[in-house]
Amino acid sequence: MVTRDNKPDIAAAVEKVYAFIEQANASTGANCLGCGNCCKFKDYGHRLYVSTPELIYLESQIGELKWAGEMMCPWHTDGRCGIHNSRFAGCRIFFCKGDCVKQGELSEEVLRRLKAICHQFNIPYEYKELSAALAHV
């Protein structure tokens, strides 16, 4: 159950997952060029999905979350990510010029870790497309 008291602990657990992603990316040579293409999921035939712990983390970083309607991401403005340091796992894993197989493997491990956070804090695990997830916050 999410409470005001355990939100910081949930956020800290998600930060560890995000640090794991950064370390994994560094070991494969994946390097962000800052081009903003990672935000263009639709151009690559992808959809951005987010999990319950990630939404809790983002809220702890930026405050109230806003619904985007049918927009892909409400924080993608002027061709760049407005929440780069707090971005979701999918945004951290997907590189427009990255190895798709390694990205898939990393994604599976990250989802396992995010599910473990839900189990640890007794919160429901949901994994939804971003606009659908934001419609229910």
**Which tens digits make up the pLDDT trace of 30-81?**
777 667 777 777 777 778 899 999 999 999 999 988 776 666 788 888 878 8
The structure's pTM equals 0.89
pLDDT for the residue numbered 3? 78
Return the closest-CA partner of residue 91 out of 37, 128, 26.
37
Cα–Cα dist 97/5, whole Å: 40
93, 107 Cβ separation under 8 angstroms = yes
Q: Is residue 31 part of a domain?
A: yes
Q: Is residue 2 part of a domain?
A: no
Q: Is residue 103 part of a domain?
A: yes
Helical H runs in 37-123? 52-62, 89-93, 100-121
pLDDT for the residue numbered 122? 96
pLDDT for the residue numbered 70? 64
pLDDT for the residue numbered 81? 85
Q: Is residue 1 part of a domain?
A: no
Which residue range(s) make up the domain with 106?
Answer: 7-134
83, 39 Cβ separation under 8 angstroms = no
Q: Is residue 127 part of a domain?
A: yes
Tell me which of 10-19, 45-54, 117-126 is least confident.
Answer: 45-54
Return the closest-CA partner of residue 81 out of 37, 48, 43, 46.
37
Q: Is residue 33 part of a domain?
A: yes
**What's the total number of domains in the chain?**
1
Q: Is residue 55 part of a domain?
A: yes
